Structure 1
Amino acid sequence: MQTGEECSPWREAEYEGLKVRVHNGGRTLLEGSLHQYWSRGHNGGEFPAWAVGEAVRQLSQALGFNPSQALLQTVEFGVNVPLQAPAKELLQRAVLHKTDALDLKTYGGKGYFRETTKQRYYFKLYDKALQLQDLGFPDPGPLLRVEVKARKMKYLEAAGVATLADLAKPAALLEMGRLLTRNLEQVLFAAPLPLPATLSTPERRLLTVGSTLRYWEGLTPASLRRTKSDYRAVYAHHVADPALQSAAQALETVWQQLLTQPEPGAHSAPAVPQINPSFRVLPRPLSPQNERAAALVRQPGSRKEEGGGEGEDGGMRVSKQAPARCCHTCGLPINTGNATAKFCSPKERGSAAAKRCRNADSNLRNNKRRALLKVVSEPVLFDQRPFVRVPEHVREFVLAAAAA
């Protein structure tokens, strides 16, 4: 008589902090953090797009499974946003996300975090610097973590994410970054004190009472939506919130840099904010103690020809040769007759998608240019332009603003 383990169609193994279950039919279930797998135990450092693709390739090759059959049941993704002031100052002012409360909590009485639960996803803001210090890492400076966890994969359907292989697609990563940005934009913040003198009495009262969750919880759904719209209008017209504006801009900038950062050795990479150089640990070869885990997963029947064009090892091969012409932003192939096209064509991808790709490229240059213009417009004792850190591919355009 066979035991349940002998007759089970699933084989299980643990490898580098990940739990892997492979079905005889080829399906694979993974549990764990791909970022922590890549950096050996933490998610405090950078994890650019090229590293995501390489981590997927190495993992699938080492354990011998097809990443396009590795179904994702939940996905948690986020970005570490550098700030000028401690993140808790911004977190203490976060009140609502859409129409739901953003509960303020602490972990171990040390770091602050805000979290809200939706039907399809969680949204969380927290002080990443304090969390890393609590884990024994060096102080990275003020750092805000913006994070989304898809509870149901339907939430990431528009991004085209369903399997592990999908996480290596530039278009999917681009859309996941937009989800982070949109969720941060949907947070209602209390106005920083003191309130502006330009406020009328009703406007001042609205910003004062709206700074507490208790006020919003006492409104009916219709009244809440209407009052929140009024609150946002007053906030946008009267309140200067440099901390929030800086966080929102940094989120978009960091995510864009992580998408476009080239693999080391390819060519000079734009500067990407890092927590600490020691946090960057490249993946190691398969260690002897993990050979048993790999052998358990890599058994006859788990790597059949059903991988199709995946390669001899059944794993996804990340090609280092790009198509003849690809969009500089999302990486999708350009199949139009225009030989000089750098971005997706409206005729091929739709006007909205094409505009997003063009804007994602131009916003980085224009935002840096406007920031530099603001700096050089004020009298200083020396020329600051040689010390401005900007990506090399936009440096000439940005610095030309200051020279004009």
Structure 2
Amino acid sequence: MIDFVKLRNNDNGFAKRLRQNANFNFFSKINPDTGEQADGKQTAELKNLKVVLYASGMVEVTGSLHKFANDGAHNYDAFTYGRLVETIGKVAALLDTTPDRLSLHNVEFGVNVLHDTCPAKFLDAILNYRYKLPDVRTFGGAGYLKQWEQQNYIVKVYNKKQQYRLVAHVLRFEVKTMAMVHLAEVEVRTLADLLDVSKLGGLGILLCETYKGLIIGEKLNTAQMSRPERRVYEQGMNPNFWQDLTDRNQRKYYRQRFEQVVKKYGSGLQEAIGRLIAEKVEELLKTSYILPDPENLNFIHFTTSGKGVKRPNYSTFLQTSESAPKRHCKTCGKPIEYRRRDAVFCEQKQCEQPAQQL
């Protein structure tokens, strides 16, 4: 579930040991006129990990733990909790340190899911995230990505199948944390915290909650829709419609109505992908709850930076309006969950009039 990380350590002794570490071949940019280091940095790369030694003594390590586990080649397979623990152990040994001495400054977490539907079709169906239009990018002809940059994090959805020329339909959904305050409630602060399965569970919860922020619309045949349903659907399929709604209650009202129509006449694509994401999180975090052996040199004095959170029940994130109490029109019996809370009739005038005459 964990992919990219940015790690730091400000211990001058650590930087000195790394300069003498035979695993790394550091190089510097040289000023051709003076022969001196141009920026005071020394850099080394190994299996997708980049290690930078700054003149101040700070050490920064960046890269994908998932790719490192695959010798830097790819990150489209399953990266389970067991593999994550093994990888963190190898990285710690390689750097000659312990995970608790490496503070986290960025972390990317997400899942790869398999679905019968082509990922490109699902990407086309995503209208916005929290009413914000996506930034669309391509992978040099190998598929495309939709992302939304928020204040402290970035949401990404992209086609893994085309990126790596895979046979299976692989969709990637992930969150890249740009400021660790976004993970304050999960208490993830060091690389050691990524060994705590309960904290990884907290990231899984956050991933599922983030998915709920997407508004997804399927291309539907409107012939069977009522006139009010057709109007709601056509409005909602226009990305600019959501941009023009500035009132929070208005947005919530129209989103509920739009999703009601899509759910009624669509294939259930949004619910299906959401279920796969939650199931994949649970699958990747299956474990015996045994933390690394403290006798292992790689994890000597390993500690986490808090008590963590309880292991979640991901089934709670699969609940939709199907599991909520139903509200129906008192006259015709049609579902009216999409209407305001105090509504007792649907939008058809003929339903209200007979009831009022009784």
TM-score category (smaller protein): 0.5 to 0.7
Q: Which residue of 1 aligns with 2:163?
A: 131
In structure 1, the residue matched to 2:109 is: 77
User: More helix per residue: 1 or 2?
Assistant: 1
Q: Which runs of structure 2 are paired with 1:19-58 in the superposition (5 Å)?
A: 19-21=50-52, 28-41=59-72, 42-58=74-90
**What TM-score do you get using the length of structure 2 for normalisation?**
0.67
Displacement after TM superposition at 1:166 (Å): 1.4
Partner deviation per Cα, 1:316-341 (whole Å, 9 max, x = no partner): 2599xxxxxxxxxxxx99xxxxxxxx
Shift of 1:104: 3.7
Q: Which amino acid aligns with 1:155?
A: H
Q: Which runs of 5+ in 2 are unaligned?
A: 1-34, 319-358
Shift of 1:311: 6.5
Task: Identify the residue that residue 149 of structure 2 maps to in structure 1.
Answer: 117
- Return the letter of the residue paired with 2:194: L
> How big is the alpha-carbon RMSD for the aligned residues of Structure 1 and Structure 2?
3.5
SS at match of 1:161: coil
Structure 1 residue runs of 4 or more that deviate by more than 6 Å after TM superposition: 22-27, 309-312, 361-364
Which AA in structure 2 matches 1:109?
Answer: G
Q: Which amino acid aligns with 1:204?
A: R
1:191 shift after superposition: 3.0
Q: Which amino acid aligns with 1:179?
A: L
Task: State the identity as a percent.
Answer: 26
| Alignment TM-score, normalising by the size of structure 1 | 0.60
Cα 1:318–1:260 change in 2 (3 A) is farther
1:316 to 299, 315, 322: 299
Residue-by-residue CA offset, 1:39-81 (whole Å, 9 max, x unaligned): 1121111110111111111111122022212122211121111
The equivalent position to 1:255 in structure 2, one of 281, 288, 309, is: 281
**Distance in 1, Cα, partners of 2:265 & 2:287:** 35
1:215 aligns with 2:241: yes
- Alignment of 1:14 with 2:45, yes or no, is yes
Q: State yes or no: 1:245 paired with 2:277.
A: no
Q: 1:27 to 1:241 in 2, by over 3 A?
A: farther
Alignment of 1:4-403 (within 5 A): 13-21=44-52, 28-41=59-72, 42-133=74-165, 139-195=166-222, 197=224, 199-222=225-248, 223-236=250-263, 238-260=264-286, 315-317=298-300, 357=312, 359-360=313-314
CA offsets per residue over residues 270-306 of structure 1, 9 Å max, x none? xxxxxxxxxxxxxxxxxxxxxxxxxxxxxxxxxxxxx
Does 1 or 2 have the higher relative contact order (CA < 8 Å, sep 6+)? 1
Aligned counterparts of 1:235 and 1:245: Cα–Cα separation in 2:
11
Count of aligned residue pairs for this structure pair: 275
Structure 1: gaps of 5 or more residues:
134-138, 267-308, 320-331, 334-348, 365-404
- Report the Cα offset of residue 14 of structure 1: 3.0
C-alpha separation in 1, matches of 2:114 and 2:301: 31
Relative to structure 1, the CA distance from residue 124 to residue 360 in structure 2 (aligned partners, 3 Å threshold; closer, same or farther) is closer
